């Protein structure tokens, strides 16, 4: 990947328009929320956001903790993985190769997707190793039950020829379980994608806890599963955006520096 523009972090604001800066602030808030709710893996994993009206993406520099991400240290890349704007820092961090391969593939194949979130959480990895996948044992899980893609593990996703299989596995779904790997969620924007990965993570945690108890699991009858999913489908358009303002207020209280 090659740099088109490399500028000091404090000068990034002068090099981007209002739409991109607003996107940077929203994505930085998402990274802080991922940290707040325990969906991080040291410096690994990635969240991307498409800059409105462009084919350009914002992604984290490979070396920052999610708690360190702010609007000015996000890197801008295109759908081929070329770096378009690299906020210079003393560490010389680059873009994670797997992040580039996974995220550019999905953004290119799914124009409806504005944000992609990938995690390696303990519960997500545990569920990804289970043949049964996500079970309909909680109301939270029913939101995704039967509407989740599954992608078989074939080594770390660092080669471009792995992109087509990943895209097929995701299909038109909003979430996919990457077997023996982790979880992935998409949405038209940050609010929706964060909401989906948060509730998918909660469903995975609940399933791991229930199965670890060693007791027999109670599954709702099929008509209840169908009715519950129908109710959630009607309300799906509210998921994410309704919670987002409150979540941003939380980030503001924790550290308003995410906007810098």
Q: State phi, psi for 58 to the nearest 5 degrees.
A: -105, 135
Distance in angstroms (rounded) separating the CA atoms of residues 155 and 21 = 35
Please give the pLDDT value at position 181.
97
Read off the pTM: 0.93
Please give the pLDDT value at position 223.
95
Cα three-residue angle 243-244-249, rounded to 5 degrees:
105
User: Does position 5 have pLDDT exceeding 80, yes or no?
Assistant: no
Please give the pLDDT value at position 155.
87
User: Does position 66 have pLDDT exceeding 50, yes or no?
Assistant: yes
Please give the pLDDT value at position 234.
79
User: Does position 92 have pLDDT exceeding 90, yes or no?
Assistant: no
Q: What is the mean pLDDT of the chain?
A: 93
Distance in angstroms (rounded) separating the CA atoms of residues 123 and 205 = 5
Please give the pLDDT value at position 76.
96
Nearest Cα neighbor of 125 from 89, 177, 67 is 177
The pLDDT confidence band at residue 39, using thresholds 50, 70 and 90, is very high
Domains contained in the chain, CATH given: 6-259 (3.40.225.10)
CB 32 within 8 A of CB 251: yes
Measured from the Cβ of residue 11, the count of other Cβ atoms closer than 10 Å reads 11
Give the residue-averaged pLDDT of 137-163: 92
Distance in angstroms (rounded) separating the CA atoms of residues 197 and 193 = 6
Q: What is the dihedral of CA 69, 10, 114, 37, to 10 degrees?
A: 20
Please give the pLDDT value at position 4.
62
Taking only the tens place, the pLDDT of each residue in 225-258 is 999 988 888 787 789 999 999 999 999 999 999 9
Burial of 218 (0-12, 13-18, 19+ CB in 10 A): exposed
Please give the pLDDT value at position 7.
76
204-215 b/e (C-beta count within 10 Å ≥ 16 → b): bbbbbeebeeee
Please give the pLDDT value at position 3.
54
Distance in angstroms (rounded) separating the CA atoms of residues 257 and 69 = 9
Distance in angstroms (rounded) separating the CA atoms of residues 64 and 74 = 10
């Amino acid at each position: 990947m090659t740099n088109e523009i490399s500028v000091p972090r404090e000068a990034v604001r002068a090099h981007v328009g209002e739409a991109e800066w607003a996107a940077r602030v929203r994505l930085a808030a998402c990274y802080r929320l991922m940290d707040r709710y325990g969906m991080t893996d040291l410096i690994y994993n990635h969240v991307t956001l498409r800059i409105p009206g462009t084919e350009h993406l914002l992604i984290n520099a490979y070396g920052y903790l999610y708690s360190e991400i702010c609007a000015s240290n996000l890197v801008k890349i295109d759908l081929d993985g070329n770096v378009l704007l690299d906020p210079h820092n003393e560490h010389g961090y680059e873009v994670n190769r797997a992040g580039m391969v996974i995220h550019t593939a999905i953004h290119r194949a799914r124009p409806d997707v504005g944000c992609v979130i990938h995690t390696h959480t303990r519960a997500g990895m545990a569920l990804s190793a289970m043949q049964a996948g996500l079970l309909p044992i909680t109301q939270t899980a029913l939101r995704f039950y039967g509407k989740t893609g599954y992608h078989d593990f074939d080594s770390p996703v660092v080669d471009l020829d792995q992109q087509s299989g990943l895209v097929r596995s995701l299909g038109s779904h909003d979430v996919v379980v990457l077997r023996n790997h982790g979880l992935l969620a998409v949405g038209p924007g940050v609010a929706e994608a964060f909401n989906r990965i948060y509730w998918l993570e909660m469903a995975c945690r609940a399933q791991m806890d229930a199965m670890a108890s060693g007791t027999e699991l109670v599954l709702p009858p099929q008509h209840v599963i169908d009715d519950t999913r129908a109710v959630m489908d009607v309300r799906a358009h509210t998921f994410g955006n309704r919670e987002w303002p409150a979540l941003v207020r939380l980030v503001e209280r924790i550290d308003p520096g995410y906007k810098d």
